[in-house]
A and B are shown apart, each in its own frame.
Chain A
């Protein structure tokens, strides 16, 4: 059996939660409307929506707020803004979001490191939670369905109990006070654990195969599908804040009225906004919705050319459910591209 695996009875969850909340503020998915969930601060385990699949925004917002002050200045000096960072616990982070955090970590750690993100990241504990996919989930296709890293603790629902995996030193410290509640995992627990993940693997229904995804994205760069989609694109930018791996930002100055002091702030930005790639003298490198939409899709599915080389879609399905024009259905779009790609390959072969 894996190292540091324990069994936590669901009946004991309240005590587990109490113990976590002694470490700092706990944030978890909460039901906020008939069909939506959001990561919010929770005071009691009863507020947690265990059934939640995708929250409106991914948990990146706790490390990378929608806006934050970077520095303050006046007419004589510039000073870095270093806010007090409280320890925070994120509970109920699903595998796709863990993979998303892993990608954000890579980008913000690459030199020069982003202190604003990393200082918050280092001051937090991540507790992952297993889930069963719905029709929009395709983490399995993107290879992010099994949590590999990015968490301190992970809970797998094995019926009346959770199988608790302890991954990091911070995780060991966090479970220390509740050790009396835990028991070592036995053979039966292992079987239930395997059965859960095996059933979950069978539960993905969309049949999306990301074979040759990178080359398909490259080959279909001029496909007319992009133009058809762009005709419907509102350039609203909804797809980017909801994405667990969209990290683009703008740096803006907020000056005081007298003009002698102010602050420099970082705000979330979106590559779908018309001025995103515009340079001085109004030259725009991505003037049309089609340029911006293609860019976003390519960045997600083909990913970085360098320095990282990986794709940045984790298959959470948030863009699909939040696109008002219904064009961010990644699975259908890629399947259509794959189909034209196959047709072309066959034609070339003939």
Chain B
């Protein structure tokens, strides 16, 4: 009988550039020989493999994936530590793209607000790049980015350019800031929730959110106060997505594979989901 091929085969991605970002974050650009990854949508993820060490899921960070793909990686574990030892010209394995990203087709013709907390900026960047590439398809566009300390700001240069554009409204907030920001940067001391209060968001906005688990609940509360409905709130959730293809079981939320049903979920679709620690919307009651 004809044997089928493994779904776990990565393709080689040669590191084209490594750009150190704030703190322990590097932006890696990989070039692959095939166009498998060119189908990447904002909010999807790939499995990044460092041979001999292991694999980990990383969000797609670039809105335009053609012959190369950008991944923002924070050094936090075994695989990322090993990746940080690599240089331009070395190769790692890439599998994907996997999961459901932000529903950009659905956002078209509507106002969009993007909310990122900390490292959540990585998938949100793929979304804003996509949106700005197709700017005429969208209504008002707002970007809100919060971080613990102004030193931790990622994509500082790119955000400066965004601040200069007239067609995207950018709010930046840090819990704590270095007093003498050099060069001066238009940001506020506060949290993403404070920025949401300031921003001109109302019920007809679609909202895309990605950040640490603790952030979602408060962001959703603020959005509800602005009459944004559950149908218009989209959350990108983090789980241990080991295989990426709905088999290994590590990324289960209740009875669903995050890697297949998500990682981007519509809030309305998360009603009655136990194990959803990100917001009070879940629970099985």
Contact = CB atoms under 8 A, between A and B. Distances in A.
A118 interface: yes
Contacts of A253: 51-54
Contacts of A247: 247, 249
Interface string B58-86: 00000000000000001011001000000
B54 A252 contact: yes
A299 interface: yes
A64 to B, nearest CB: 10
B252 A299 contact: yes
Nearest to B56: A280
A122 B1 CA distance: 8
B278 to A, nearest CB: 10
Interface stretch (B7-15, B160-168, B201-209): B7-15
A107 B256 CA distance: 12
A119 B247 contact: no
A304 B255 contact: yes
A13 interface: no
A279 B238 contact: yes
B246 interface: yes
B283 interface: yes
B239 A115 contact: no
Contacts of A298: 254-255, 274
A221 B285 CA distance: 8
Given A281-B77, A302-B255, A307 B260 contact: yes
Given A251-B242, A259-B52, A280-B80, A115 B248 contact: no
B66 to A, nearest CB: 23
B4 A78 contact: no
B273 interface: yes
B78 to A, nearest CB: 9
A1 B1 CA distance: 33
Nearest to B243: A251
Given A82-B3, A110-B246, A305-B255, A262 B51 contact: yes
A80 B272 contact: no
Given A70-B6, A277-B239, A294-B274, 12 more contacts: A73-B51, A78-B51, A78-B93, A107-B247, A110-B246, A111-B245, A118-B4, A222-B284, A253-B53, A259-B52, A305-B273, A307-B246
